[in-house]
């Protein structure tokens, strides 16, 4: 089996040799069983320690699928319906306005044509934005008001969002956004627990995810990978790396007030693979003798397109070929270059610092590659890993 993966192993080694990546770990699953794992390079340039299977990574937006699955465990408990308006549970969002389509000022707003719903929130079509991409005038307000302030709580964030207009009318387009952070606050409301506590009891404990949390405790700091940026941000393919600022979510060495459902977790390859194995098993916890976290029909719903008719994923500067969005996952509708037909239906997501995960039900395979390059989302190394893994397995 290992010979099949030699082209992929060599391709990732080239990114290491060119100082495009400091280090990486990858794993491949077939029918829920691990069939290949490989490490490359170093976890830290400063210490020279090699990358290994115990390394901890900032997974940023790879947190989103975990948050979405946690929300759907509450859906199965009848705590909410997907088409419930957000204001039913978050009264802070009861008086939202929307930026006018051709507005030249953030004061030029209009009334909602319809109330944003949980379904729209989970598919990034509720009208919220992120602030970091500067797609509209609203993004300036997100930055000025520090919507994702790490010193605040999820409740504080929602209160701030209630005072900022939506970027678009709900249900009119995909816009990557703070929606999954709002979903984390909803999980608190629905469950009566803190977001962290609910994740622990509903997912991490039953799955045996012992290294996934919102901070790195002192006894695990040595396992925490360094994070790096291109030496020239204007020429990101130029060889060379420099230390990156990882304070985006408020630092990781102490517990944080802001438990971001959209990007706050640290995790390991072993932990995230357990989460993926559960997804491949249609909600069953691997090796747990019938313990189920989600019903198959719930996961099928999550893997089904939830965007408005004719709409697809839109990300500034990134072209996601023929891709729609479900409840927490992007869904591929046609193969990318060099991929087989079995790639259709693949559901996936990644993190800003170079963590990428994907599952292909039609091929019975899944892949994970973790590194710490910021930015490293939708990056050449992840495409090579996926393409060559498909070629090895299909």
* 224-262 pLDDT, tens digit each: 999 999 998 888 778 899 999 887 778 899 999 999 999
CA distances from 94 to 90, 91, 236 (A): 8, 5, 43
DSSP states along 170-197:
TTS-----THHHHHHHHHHHHHSS-HHH
Instruction: Provide the CATH number for the domain around residue 122.
Output: 3.40.710.10
> What is the tens place of the pLDDT at every residue in 109-165?
999 999 999 999 999 999 999 998 888 899 999 999 999 999 999 999 999 999 999
Final residue before a domain boundary, out of 141, 166, 191? 191
For residue 68, is it within any domain? Answer: no
Percent of the chain with pLDDT over 70: 98
Whether residue 172 sits in one domain with residue 104? yes
By the 10 Å C-beta count (0-12 exposed, 13-18 middle, 19+ buried), 11 is classed as middle
Is 50 inside any structural domain?
Answer: yes
Same domain, 219 and 181: no
- Across-strand partners of 373? 228
Query: 282 and 326 share a domain?
Result: yes
Looking at residue 2, its pLDDT comes to 76
Looking at 131, 159, 191, the residue that finishes a domain is 191
Give the mean pLDDT of the chain. 95
Give the range of the structural domain holding residue 164, as residue numbers without chain letter: 73-191
Place of tokens 């088409």: 83
- Tally the residues of the chain: 394
Q: 185 near 195, Cβ under 8 Å? A: yes
For the chain, the domain total comes to 2
Residue 86 included in any domain: yes
Residues 127, 42, single domain; the answer is no
pLDDT at residue 1, rounded to an integer:
59
Write down the H helix ranges in the chain.
6-17, 63-75, 118-122, 137-144, 154-161, 179-191, 195-199, 205-207, 269-280, 296-302, 380-393
Residue-level pLDDT at 318: 67
Residue 387 covered by a domain: yes
Same domain as 132, residue 242: no
The yes-or-no verdict on residue 41 having pLDDT over 80 is: yes
Same domain, 185 and 222: no
- Domain shared by 388 and 251, yes or no: yes
Same structural domain for residues 213 and 185?
no
Query: 172-228: per-residue pLDDT in tens?
Result: 999 999 999 999 999 999 999 999 999 999 999 999 999 999 999 999 999 999 999
User: How would residue 288 be classed by pLDDT, with cut points 50, 70 and 90?
Assistant: confident
Under 8 Å CB-to-CB from 300, ≥6 apart: which residues? none
């Amino acid at each position: 089996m290992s010979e099949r993966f030699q082209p992929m192993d060599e391709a990732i080694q080239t990114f290491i040799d060119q100082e495009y990546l400091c280090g990486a770990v990858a794993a491949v699953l077939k029918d829920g069983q691990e069939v290949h794992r490989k490490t490359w390079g170093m976890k830290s340039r400063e210490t020279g320690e090699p990358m290994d299977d115990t390394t901890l990574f900032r997974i940023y937006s790879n947190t989103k699928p975990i948050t979405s699955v946690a929300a759907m465990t509450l859906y199965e408990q009848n705590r909410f319906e997907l088409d419930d308006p957000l204001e039913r549970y978050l009264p802070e969002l009861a008086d939202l306005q929307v930026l006018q389509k051709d507005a030249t000022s953030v004061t030029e707003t209009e009334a909602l044509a319809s109330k944003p719903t949980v379904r729209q929130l989970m598919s990034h079509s509720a009208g919220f934005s992120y602030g970091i991409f500067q797609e509209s005038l609203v993004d300036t307000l997100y930055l000025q008001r520090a919507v994702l302030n790490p010193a605040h709580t999820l409740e504080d964030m929602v209160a701030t969002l209630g005072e900022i207009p939506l970027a678009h009318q709900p249900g009119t387009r995909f816009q990557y956004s703070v929606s999954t952070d709002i979903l984390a606050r909803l999980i608190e409301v629905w469950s009566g627990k803190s977001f962290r506590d609910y994740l622990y009891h509903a997912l991490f404990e039953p799955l045996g995810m012992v290294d996934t949390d919102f901070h790195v405790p002192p006894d695990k700091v040595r396992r925490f990978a360094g994070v790096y940026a291109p030496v020239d941000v204007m020429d990101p393919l130029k060889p060379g790396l420099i230390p990156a600022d990882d304070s985006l979510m408020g630092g990781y060495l102490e517990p944080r007030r802001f438990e971001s459902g959209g990007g706050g977790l640290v995790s390991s390859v072993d932990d995230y693979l357990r989460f993926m194995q559960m997804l491949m098993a249609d909600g069953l916890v691997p090796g747990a003798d019938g313990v189920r976290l989600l019903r198959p029909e719930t996961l099928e719903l999550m893997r089904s397109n939830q965007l408005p008719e004719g709409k697809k994923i839109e990300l500034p500067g990134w072209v996601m070929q023929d891709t729609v969005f479900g409840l927490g996952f992007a869904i591929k509708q046609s193969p990318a270059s060099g991929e087989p037909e079995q790639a259709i239906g693949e559901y996936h997501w990644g993190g800003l610092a170079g963590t990428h995960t994907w599952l292909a039900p039609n091929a019975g395979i899944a892949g994970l590659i973790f590194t710490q390059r910021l930015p490293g989302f939708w990056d050449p190394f992840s495409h090579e890993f996926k393409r060559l893994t498909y070629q090895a397995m299909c």
